[in-house]
Structure 1
């Protein structure tokens, strides 16, 4: 894996707290941020794939309405 250095501007209080978390987890601030960003991108990709699967399922789902809804909101809720 290839690495690239980045420069961040963070609030001092947030940086201090993040450093303490890194120490508690036995890693560096860089390692902590790397893990966070990897988790974030993995979850985002999983969400995107799930969304695509569900949208594809909706394209083939037949509810028997032929795309036409009968009634109105009050009828649907028994009002």
Structure 2
């Protein structure tokens, strides 16, 4: 993987770092993803899957108290 050095306004970088921190990521990761997208390195499907996993990891949704066994999930009606 190559390294890239860019020049950016101090205030813009500060705000970007704070926003990235709130999102649980880094400015480096955001720029890497943007450049990969811009360059067309990954297909739309891979990007959608990555975004879905990112959103799922940030979700507060839970499955509740209900549990199922494998037999329950594969129960057939006779």
Could you say which structure has the higher helix fraction? 1
User: Which category describes the TM-score, using the shorter chain as reference length?
Assistant: 0.3 to 0.5
Largest Rg, 1 or 2: 1
Q: TM-score, normalising length from structure 1?
A: 0.44
